[in-house]
Structure 1
Amino acid sequence: MRATFVLGLLLLGVASACSREPASGTVQAALPHRRIEGTRVELSAPRGFEPSEAVQGLVRSDARAKIGVFELPAPFAETAPDPTQWSDEEVRLVRWEAVRVAEVEARLYHLERRGGGGERRSWMLVGGDAQESLVMVAECDNELAAELEQPLRECLLGARWRRDVAPVISFELQPGADLVLVRDDGAVHVYAPRGTPSPLPEGTPFLLVAQVSSSSAEGLEAACRERLEGALGAAGTRLRAVESSVAVASAGRKAWEVVASVENGLLAWITLVPVGDGALVLQGQCRATQREPYLAAFRAAATSLVLE
């Protein structure tokens, strides 16, 4: 995964999520560290920020400010943009800092971005090691930068990355085709075609399995579609059309499956399996031209799912 691709993807994802959040007007004291849903990252929210429903992270929607949190199965050396070779025309690098966050090497980039209705300030922190990376992007309207820069900086630098956290839900499954387990860090399981290099090249078919907390959406179908739209929003892409949305059986219980076409010629599949107070999300993606055999492989994973 190229650093320039990560930069564009994450900035677009955070910016688009900001525009979708309804204004809440909520102002609250700084919060203790709490886990960001869908990640192993814990943040102490700046005053006025609360969990976002549109993207993994925090939002202060009245101020059009957002913090997005992403974990990537790629080495730090490949995800962190080289500041000496910065060439993005829409995002200007103001300065950068070498820092340490959550006991790993990191860089904090101070950025300015034009377009999308005005100038915006962003702070992107990229950290990690030889196996995986943590990327956090904070963004706000330019006129709010003086007020929010220090709280946002403290939030990013104070992040906790709980890579030792084991999953509460244990499971086994057997995906079809040539999909094999390529990442198992306790919180996220990733399956990809046998022999695929690491990090996964763009466009590689993959199946991701993760544990999530319960949704505020009413009904299983609404919760499943909410997860799909949230994942696409985090990646800065959009759903084009839902091909099917049906109840299915997985792990001996009622689950919900959605198949959709998304931008860039991709096919997305997601199945939400309720477990206790939360759920397991099985999410697959491949190029539309690879529908066969991978859609069948994704469905085989859901059918074979066994909870331990």
Structure 2
Amino acid sequence: MSNTNTSEQVEFLSAQDLIKENFPDIIDTSKYSSGTGLHRINFKGKLEYWEGFQRDVRKVFREIPWEKHGEALTVRLKTREDLQWTEHFLCGAEISTKRLAYPKKKPDGKNESDEKHSIPDYALICRIPRETRALGEAKHPWGTHPDVDVQDARRGIQLHENRLRRLLGQISRDMWAAKLKFAFMTNYRWTVFLRREMVNGKWTLYYSDAIPHDAVSDLDGKTRGCVSVRECMLYLVHTVSGAQHIWSSKNQPHEPLPEWAEGIPKSKPKSGSTAQLPARSRPLSPTDLLT
């Protein structure tokens, strides 16, 4: 056993340290999906850039009394060569679980085959009272480029706004169905945070900058990418912990779903017809998200 002092080999991380940290890189090999993983759904509503998102995130961070939470929560090797810490995984498509006959049931007890729905990858659920507060959707890192689409959509380039609308189609539809105002969309390398608000009588979807997975919180604010994904998640949790009207649209009127999100037909529809969401892409109700 080495006599080297343990403190020289490892570093202890407090809650604040963890929040400021970046996400680890992922293994990139030639064996990955050639598609985007996106459902055939387009966001159809009003789309606006979320001005001041990073400023809002940092405000929440600075208001937390970190001196009261200084104890170490975890430890890691200083060399960052511990595979258990960096958590590298090779993941297959969700369809692979069917071959293994894993049972899938919704809270009402029905089997997945009885009635197919699209289920969000993430749901932020309050324990008491038991209710969903925010949603998240994840795709693999290949085939989508949220950073480019966000930047060029802001510049008014229609091609990239169209791609951004496709990227946000599924999660925007799930927000509508669950009557929730906050969500995020990620391909791991880039994460976009979303807010749905009624503005001048019209529902609007606000999208944030695409936050890179390797961003580290810059407390001096000298760089544009000054917030980490973890810091943004802290902001999300903090925000949806407030009063119901902040995170829920249950008591507000809603537009018809086709005006907010609409399925993309595989073939050109007949004149006068509209695209219907495929069965596997129909949203769950808010209570269906609870387990």
Bucket of the pairwise TM-score, normalised by the shorter protein? under 0.3
Higher helix share: 2
Q: Relative contact order (alpha carbons < 8 A, sep ≥ 6): 1 or 2 greater?
A: 2
Q: Which has the higher strand share?
A: 1
